[in-house]
Amino acid sequence: MSRTVIAPARGVDGVDAGPLPGARRMTVGVEEEFLLVDRRTGMPVARGPLVVEAAREVLGERAQPEFFGAQVEVCTRPTADMAELRCELALLRRVMAEAGAGEGCLLAATGTPVIPPERPPAVTPGERYGRMAARWPFLVGSYDGMVCGCHIHVGVTGRGQALALANHMRPWLPGLQALAANSPFSLGRDTGWVSRRSVEHARWPGVGPAPLLDEAGYDRLADHLVRTGTLLDRRMIYWYARPSEHVPTLEIRLCDVNADLDVVVLLAALVRGLATALLPEIAEGRPAPRLTESRLRAAHRLAARQGLEGEGLDPVSGEYVPAATAVGLLLARAGPGLEAVGDRDLAEELFDRIRRSGGGAARQRAAYLRRGRLSDVVGDLVRTTLNAPT
C-alpha cells in the first residue's frame, strides 16, 4: 500500500513540534451509536430497549439505550492499544447485531436514517429523556433529530487538563469531522451534505465549538447554562470537546458514527496522537491558538458540507486549502504524538486508504448510484458495520 507523505509537525507558533521521547500512552475509549432498521424495509424500528436487554447478557453496561427507541449505543473499556480497541469495537458490534437479529432488525452505522419510517419516532422511556422531550418537543417530533455519533475519550489527570487540551485542539477538530462524514442521506433524500448529522445535531442547545475556558470559567458557565434553563443539566453540554462529567477524560463528540471500523480506529488514533503532542506545549505554558469564532464555525460548516472533497481551513493560518490538505495538516500536527505511542504508521496507512476511497459519505453515494436504490445504501451499511465482504 502506498504511503502518504506527511509534512513535519508544526507547533502553535509554526515551529516544528519535534519528537516526544518517553510520552505517556494515554488511554482511549469509544462510544458508538447505531440505528436499528427493519430487516425487510430498512426503516428505523423502535426495538432498542429489547435489543440492549439481550446484548447486556454478554456485554453488561457496555450496551446502552439511546434517546430514541430506534437507537442503541456501545461503549468500550479504556485501553492504550489500538489493536485491542479495534477488537473490542468489532466484538461490541457483533454482539449488538446478534441481539438485534433476535428482534428482527439490523444494526447500521450511519449518522442519519437513510430511509424514512412509517411512524413518528418513539423516545426511550426514562425520567431524563422524558424531561428532555418535554422541554424541546420540536427536536424530538420527527426523525430529523435522530442522529448517531461516535464519541472518543482520552484519559486525563483531571478537568483542568481536559479543558487545556480542548482549548488547544479546537482548530484541528474540523479535520476529524471531515474524515468522519457519513450521513449524506436522510429520510429518503440526498441532502447535499456529507454530514447531515452535524446540521441536525446542531439544533440542540449546547452543541458547537467549545469556548476557551479554564476550570473556574467552566464551572461558572456550566452553572449559568443550567440555572437559566438553557440546558437541562451539565450532561447536555454537547461541545465538540468537553470534559466528561463522570469519568476523567476529554471527550471529542463531533464525529458521525462510521460503518468502516478503520475510520473509527483512525479517529481514535488521531485524537490521542494530537493530545499527546499538545500536552508538552501546555506544560510549557504556550497559549492556545485563537482562531476567530467565525473562522472556526466556517471550518466546521465546510467539513459537514464537503468532507474530504472540497475546501477546508488551515488551522494555523486560517486560509482556505483543499480539505484533504487540511486533514493532512492534522496528521502532521499529531505526528509527534502518533510516533511517541507507536501509531504513526497505522494512522498514515489508514488515512491514505480513506483519502483514496473518499470515506463513508462517498461510499453511501456510490452504493446508491449503482441502482438508484436506498435499500442498497442500507444493505451496504449493514454489511460494512459488521466488517463483512460486500
Residue 2's Cβ-count burial label (10 Å; 0-12, 13-18, 19+) is exposed
Domains of the chain: 28-385 (3.30.590.20)
- pTM (2 decimals)? 0.93
Non-local (6+) Cβ contacts of 294 within 8 A are none
What nine digits make up the cell of 316? 494555523
Give every CB contact of residue 350 below 8 A, 6+ residues apart in sequence. 262, 263, 265, 266, 269
Q: What is the pLDDT of residue 11?
A: 37
| Positive or negative torsion for Cα 189, 191, 197, 199 | negative
- Angle 115-120-122 from CA coordinates, rounded to 5°: 105
Report the pLDDT value the prediction gives residue 10, as an integer from 0 to 100.
Answer: 36
DSSP H or E stretch at residue 166: helix 159-169
- Which pLDDT value is given to residue 38? 97
CB-based contacts of 381: which residues, under 8 Å, 6+ apart?
Answer: 108, 109, 110, 114, 259, 364, 367
Indicate the residue type of 355: R
The pLDDT value given to residue 19? 53
DSSP 109-136: --SS-SS--SS---BPP-HHHHHHHHH-
Angle 20-255-185 (CA atoms, 0-180°, nearest 5)?
150
Q: Which three cell numbers stand for residue 185?
A: 442521506
Overall residue count recorded for the chain in this entry: 390
pLDDT of residue 138: 87
pLDDT of residue 276: 97
pLDDT tens, position by position, 104-139: 999 999 999 999 988 888 999 999 999 999 999 988
At residue 22, the pLDDT reads 54
Amino acid at 307: G
Q: Give the residues of the chain that fall short of pLDDT 70.
A: 1-23, 388-390
